[in-house]
Amino acid sequence: MNVTIVDYNSGNISSVINSFKEVAKDKVNIKVTADLATIKTSDKVVLPGQGSFKSCIDGLKNISGLMDTLNEFALESKKPLLGICVGLQMFADIGYEETETKGLGWISGKVSKIDNQDGKFKLPHIGWNEINITKESKIFKGIENKSHMYFVHSYEFLPEDKSVISATTDYSSNVVCAAEKENIFGTQFHPEKSDKTGLKIIENFINL
């Protein structure tokens, strides 16, 4: 099996790479590339994201054919894809970080700044927070509800269809921290930085 982590200059993704390789061991071939042919022939794709919504979308656009290839992989071939942090946010139609930016449009919704309630909640939201699993999900197999995951973000994904939400976390409000639609999965938290529980989520995705 081939799992490709898309490297499109979205920031330091070494922890994502290391965690996937740790879980995969020698059983799964982990590739790190933006090569279109490699992505097309992969069994699964991971879309990491660090930085702003705009910078990540720009990073995808700067590689000729990458957006089309990801659309084909996720929407036509319907093979499993995992978005992490801004990788999840880019599923939305539109994001408002830095400036209004069009997203991938895979899951209808928008990405807006978390309401910090006049400074009551610090932004960015950094650190461990409890997640509330709201529906059965293959990537949460063996994960206990109220587990703690590691977050670093100031913006939240607000999907139009609430049925795509698979987990939330309480930070100022019920912030969506995991969403899925058919073969498309995303986490706002960083499973690669969430200790053994996060590695279990990575294992679940690899085993889909």
**Are residues 142 and 92 in contact, defined by beta-carbon separation less than 8 angstroms?**
no
User: Which tens digits make up the pLDDT trace of 178-203?
Assistant: 999 999 999 999 999 999 999 999 99
Render 95-111 in DSSP notation, one character per residue. E-SSS-EE---SS-EEE
Domain 2-206 superfamily per CATH: Class I glutamine amidotransferase (GATase) domain (3.40.50.880)
The one catalytic residue in 56, 125, 177, 190 is: 190
Given pLDDT bands bounded at 50, 70 and 90, which one contains residue 20? very high
- Kindly name the residue from 97, 156, 180, 192 that is annotated as catalytic: 192
Q: What is the pTM of this model?
A: 0.97
| Per-residue pLDDT reduced to its tens digit, 149-184 | 999 999 999 999 999 999 999 998 999 999 999 999
Cβ neighbors of 7 (< 8 A, separation 6 or more) are 13, 32, 33, 34
Q: Catalytic: 97?
A: no
Active site residue 182: no
The two three-digit tokens of residue 48, written as one number: 């990491």
Is residue 34 a contact partner of residue 10, using CB atoms and an 8 Å limit?
Answer: no
Task: Report CA dihedral (9, 115, 190, 196) to the nearest 10 degrees.
Answer: 170
Residue extents of the structural domains in the chain: 2-206
Model pLDDT for residues 77-103, shown as the tens digit of each residue: 999 999 999 999 999 999 999 999 999
Query: CB–CB of 167/110 below 8 Å?
Result: no
Cα–Cα distance measured from residue 161 to residue 165, given in angstroms and rounded to the nearest whole number:
8
Do 95 and 57 touch, CB atoms closer than 8 A?
yes
Give CA angle at 165 (10, 3), nearest 5°. Answer: 45
- Residue 190 bears catalytic tag: yes
Q: Considering the candidates 85, 97, 156, 177, report the single residue annotated as catalytic.
A: 85
Please report where in the chains the tokens 């995992």 appear, as a residue.
82
